[in-house]
């Protein structure tokens, strides 16, 4: 299921349709993901009494709708204390609920025959990377096993099965209580390679406890997080007996013959980015996108993703040539727009640039002009061009009612090779968690389906084109080297000396130390970036580093 955070009535209506459809198909049990009723993650909404109560009203409606059906329902919601929480119909003492309402529980409800039969509160609350549940939720303190049609079904929620780092072992407790089937409802975010890791985790648990498991995961985009779904069933021998497709919202009967499309890691990442853009626009009410097309690979990839997500009629490309833009670049931008079938416009920034340059020159006199002027102001004037483009694009965004998509990649954001209020401007950073080497892989992947990105864009040397004959290599190591350093520093959290030892003989220690220094000094820029769609295990939202920081290494 692909829920929308805060739209409890809309999410509930969707679930009711599927419950009726599942019942008509003879399903015994229909299972929805973690927090399906309210969406996930909700952050500080979990502290709003009115928000929790809105979900509980819909929960009661769904429970009432199961009256007369032979189908039971498991779904995720947020519960609170006795003043506004839901009590289940089974005989449980009041201590199941805390005596006040200043906190909430990440919960699962079992609905059957018109009633809430049981409520389970998530016991293991993650506080790692992008998940900060201990800030917003209280942990449950007991297992839940439901007798159902000759079986004893144990309920778990997401982190409950990732128990390696916890003293509490929810699955072991369920086994001791006689569970012969475990359901895990999840809202587990996507990152590259996560599908195989999840499957390996579930299969290991199933083999250890000899209890089959049903894993049901959320799908869709929520702000910067992407959820890939890929729900599956695993028998007691650790065999996957059913696998739902990735990135697709759908009601499926476990056991029906489904042949999910097998994607490689690049294809998965591309599909995740498309889903992220589509849901960001749909769920936030944005209708149209604007992209500044430089003729380079980054903006070409972002434009292509946007068209695949929104359709060509919703996307407009604008090229903004400046004093150092090559003819090839703006022609490549035009060819890309024609291949994609999108609206396209050329708007030169040179007149604005010359006006600004004249004003600056008029304010300097004597020796401060000439070569000295160019040396002192070269970087500022390069950034000025990027900011004039940002100014123009934001005007077009406002005047045309289009959300501007930023096209910077993770390699650039990491080392600060980007301009605040210039190329960083926009409402969503589509590839801000994609390394430059992966940008090329994604572009090649998309062209293998249908060639839309010009070959010249793929093969020419990357350049910001902000000064004569500029190339990225003038300021940065080759991208394969740079990305290897960044993966070690950001993804693996290795220190500078550890990276030097790891890359001994392959990369100069001076290059490594300079790269790490640039990453550390660019934190203030990343704090001001638009939301970045997360496709790696360590994206910017999950990497919390201080801006003011004198630690080196």
CA gap 84, 74 in Å, rounded: 20
pLDDT at 367: 45
Query: Could you tell me which of 183, 244, 188, 232 has the C-alpha nearest to residue 211?
Result: 183
Q: Which backbone phi and psi does 479 adopt, to 5 degrees?
A: -65, -30
The mean per-residue pLDDT over the stretch 416-420 comes to: 94
Integer-rounded Cα radius of gyration of the chain: 26
Could you tell me where the DSSP H helices lie in 238-287? 265-284
pLDDT tens-place string over residues 445-484: 999 999 999 999 999 988 877 777 778 888 889 999 999 9
As a whole number of angstroms, the distance between CA 120 and CA 281 comes to 34
Beta strands of 198-308 (E only): which ranges?
213-217, 219-222, 225-228, 232-234, 240-243, 288-292
8-247 with 270-473: one CATH topology? Answer: no
Write down the residue that tokens 């980007």 correspond to.
418
**Could you give the CA distance from residue 314 to residue 288 in angstroms, rounded to a whole number?**
5
Residue bearing the bigger pLDDT, 87 or 541? 541
Cα distances (Å, whole numbers) of residue 552 to 225, 442, 450, 509: 30, 34, 46, 14
Amino acid 128: pLDDT? 79
pTM above 0.85, yes or no: yes
Q: How confident is the model at residue 100 (pLDDT cuts 50, 70, 90)?
A: very low
Q: In this predicted structure, what is the pLDDT of residue 544?
A: 85
Measured distance CA(312)–CA(193) in Å, rounded: 30
Active site includes 233?
A: no
Of the pLDDT bands very low, low, confident and very high (cuts 50, 70, 90), residue 87 is low
177 catalytic, yes or no? no
Which residues 6+ apart lie within 8 Å of 39 measured at CB?
Answer: 3, 4, 5, 6, 7, 11, 222
Mean pLDDT of 427-433: 97
Identify the H or E element spanning 358: helix 350-362
34 catalytic? Reply is: yes
Q: Exactly one of 14, 34, 112, 233 is catalytic; which is it?
A: 34
Report whether pLDDT(402) > 60.
Answer: yes
From edge to edge, which strands make up the β-sheet containing 428-429?
Answer: 343-346, 315-319, 288-292, 402-406, 428-429
Nearest to 203 by CA among 241, 146, 168: 241
pLDDT at residue 82 is higher than 80:
no
- pLDDT band at 541, cuts 50/70/90? confident
Domain 270-473 listed as CATH 1.10.3720.10? no
List residues bridging with 31 in a β-sheet.
Answer: 74
Confidence (pLDDT) at 89: 57
Residue, of 90 and 325, whose pLDDT is higher:
325
Computed over every residue of the chain, the mean pLDDT equals 91
Q: What percent of the chain has pLDDT over 90?
A: 78
- 3-class secondary structure per residue, 148-166: ECCEEEEEEEHHHHCCCCC
Residue 468: both structure tokens together: 């004569």
Question: Of 122, 283, 410, 436, which residue is the catalytic one?
Answer: 122
Length of the chain: 553
Tokens read off for 13: 């209506």
Give 98 or 114, the one with higher predicted confidence. 114
128: enclosing H helix or E strand: strand 127-128
What pLDDT digit, counting tens, does each position of 475-500 carry?
Answer: 889 999 999 999 999 999 999 999 99
Q: Which of 144, 158, 234, 496 is catalytic?
A: 158
Confidence of residue 369 (pLDDT cuts 50, 70, 90): low
Whole-number pLDDT of residue 366: 47
CB 123 within 8 A of CB 155: no
Q: Is residue 101 predicted with pLDDT exceeding 50?
A: no
d(CA 307, CA 314): 8
Contact (Cβ atoms closer than 8 angstroms) between residue 143 and residue 177 = yes
Options 3.30.70.920, 3.20.20.370, 3.60.110.10, 3.10.310.30; which CATH number does 8-247 get? 3.60.110.10
* Residues sharing a CB contact under 8 Å with residue 504, sequence separation 6 or more, in sequence order: none
Rounded-to-integer distance, Cα 322 and Cα 352, Å: 10
Residue 46 has a pLDDT of 92
pLDDT at res. 373: 54
* Residue pLDDT, tens place only, 242-298: 999 999 999 999 877 777 677 789 999 999 999 999 999 999 999 999 999 999 999
pLDDT tops 60 at residue 361:
yes
Residue 216, strand partner residues: 185
What percentage of the chain carries pLDDT values higher than 70? Answer: 93
Q: What is the pLDDT of residues 153-198, one digit of tens each?
A: 999 999 999 998 899 999 999 999 999 999 999 999 999 999 999 9
359's tokens: 């004003």
Instruction: Identify whether the C-beta of residue 493 lies closer than 8 Å to the C-beta of residue 354.
Output: no
Does the N-terminal peptide bond of residue 41 adopt cis geometry, omega within 30 degrees of 0?
Answer: yes
How does pLDDT run across 201-257, given as a tens digit for each residue?
999 999 999 999 999 999 999 999 999 999 999 999 999 999 999 999 999 998 777
Rounded distance between C-alpha atoms, residue 313 and residue 298, angstroms: 21
Tell me which DSSP letter residue 506 carries.
Answer: T
Looking at residue 333, its pLDDT comes to: 95
**SS3 state at 213:** strand
- Domain boundaries, given as residue ranges, for the chain: 8-247, 270-473
**What are the pLDDT digits (tens) for 20-76?**
999 999 999 999 999 999 999 999 999 899 999 999 999 999 999 999 999 999 999
- Top pLDDT among 461 and 425 is at 425
Please determine, for residue 352, whether its predicted confidence score (pLDDT) is greater than 90.
Answer: yes
Instruction: Say which residues have a Cβ less than 8 Å from residue 490's Cβ, sequence separation at least 6.
Output: 414, 519, 538, 543
Amino acid 469: pLDDT:
79
């Amino acid at each position: 299921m692909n829920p929308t955070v805060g739209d409890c009535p809309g999410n509930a209506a969707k679930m009711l349709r599927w419950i009726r459809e599942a019942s008509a198909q003879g399903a015994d049990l229909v299972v929805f993901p973690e927090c399906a009723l309210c969406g996930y993650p909700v952050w500080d909404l979990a502290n709003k009494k009115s928000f929790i109560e809105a979900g509980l009203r819909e929960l009661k409606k769904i429970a009432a709708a199961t009256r007369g059906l032979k189908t039971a329902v498991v779904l995720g919601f947020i519960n609170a204390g006795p003043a506004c929480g839901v009590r289940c119909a089974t005989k449980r003492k009041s201590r199941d609920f805390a005596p006040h309402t200043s906190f909430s529980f990440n919960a699962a409800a079992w609905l059957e025959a018109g009633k809430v039969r049981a409520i389970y509160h998530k016991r293991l609350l993650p506080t790692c990377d992008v998940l900060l549940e201990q800030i917003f939720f209280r942990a449950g303190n007991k297992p839940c096993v439901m007798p159902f049609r000759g079986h004893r079904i144990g309920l778990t929620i997401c982190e409950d099965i990732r128990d390696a780092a916890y003293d509490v072992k929810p699955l072991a407790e369920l086994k001791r209580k006689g569970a012969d089937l475990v359901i895990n409802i999840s809202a587990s975010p996507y990152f590259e390679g996560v599908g195989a890791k999840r499957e390996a985790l579930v299969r290991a648990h199933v083999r250890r406890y000899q209890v089959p498991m049903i894993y049901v995961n959320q799908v869709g985009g929520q702000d910067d997080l992407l959820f890939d779904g890929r729900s599956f069933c695993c028998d007691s021998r650790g065999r996957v007996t059913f696998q739902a497709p990735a990135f697709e919202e759908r009601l499926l009967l476990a056991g029906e013959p489904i042949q999910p499309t097998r994607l490689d890691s690049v294809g998965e990442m591309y599909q995740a980015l498309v889903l992220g853009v589509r849901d960001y626009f749909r769920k936030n009410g944005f209708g149209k996108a604007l992209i500044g097309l430089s003729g380079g690979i980054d903006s070409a990839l972002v434009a292509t993703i946007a068209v695949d997500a929104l359709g060509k009629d919703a996307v407009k490309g604008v090229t903004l040539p400046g004093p150092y833009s090559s003819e090839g670049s703006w022609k490549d931008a035009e060819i890309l727009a024609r291949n994609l079938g999108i609206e396209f416009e050329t708007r030169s920034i040179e007149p604005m640039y010359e006006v600004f340059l004249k004003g600056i020159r008029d304010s300097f006199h004597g020796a401060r002009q000439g070569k000295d002027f160019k040396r002192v102001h070269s970087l500022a004037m390069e950034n000025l061009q990027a900011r004039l483009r940002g100014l123009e694009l934001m005007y077009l965004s406002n005047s045309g009612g289009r959300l501007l998509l930023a096209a910077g990649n993770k390699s650039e954001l990491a080392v600060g090779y980007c301009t605040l209020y210039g190329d960083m401007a926009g409402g969503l950073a589509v590839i801000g968690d994609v390394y430059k080497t992966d940008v090329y892989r994604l572009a090649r992947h998309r062209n293998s389906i249908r060639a839309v990105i010009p070959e010249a864009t793929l093969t020419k040397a990357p350049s910001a084109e902000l000064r004569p004959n500029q190339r990225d290599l003038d300021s940065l190591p080759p991208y394969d080297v740079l990305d290897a350093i960044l993966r070690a520093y950001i993804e693996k959290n290795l220190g500078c000396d550890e990276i030097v030892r790891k890359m001994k003989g392959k990369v100069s220690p001076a290059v490594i130390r300079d790269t790490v220094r640039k990453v550390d000094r660019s934190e203030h820029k990343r704090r001001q970036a638009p939301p970045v769609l997360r496709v790696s295990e360590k994206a910017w939202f999950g990497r919390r580093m201080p801006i003011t920081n004198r630690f080196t290494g």
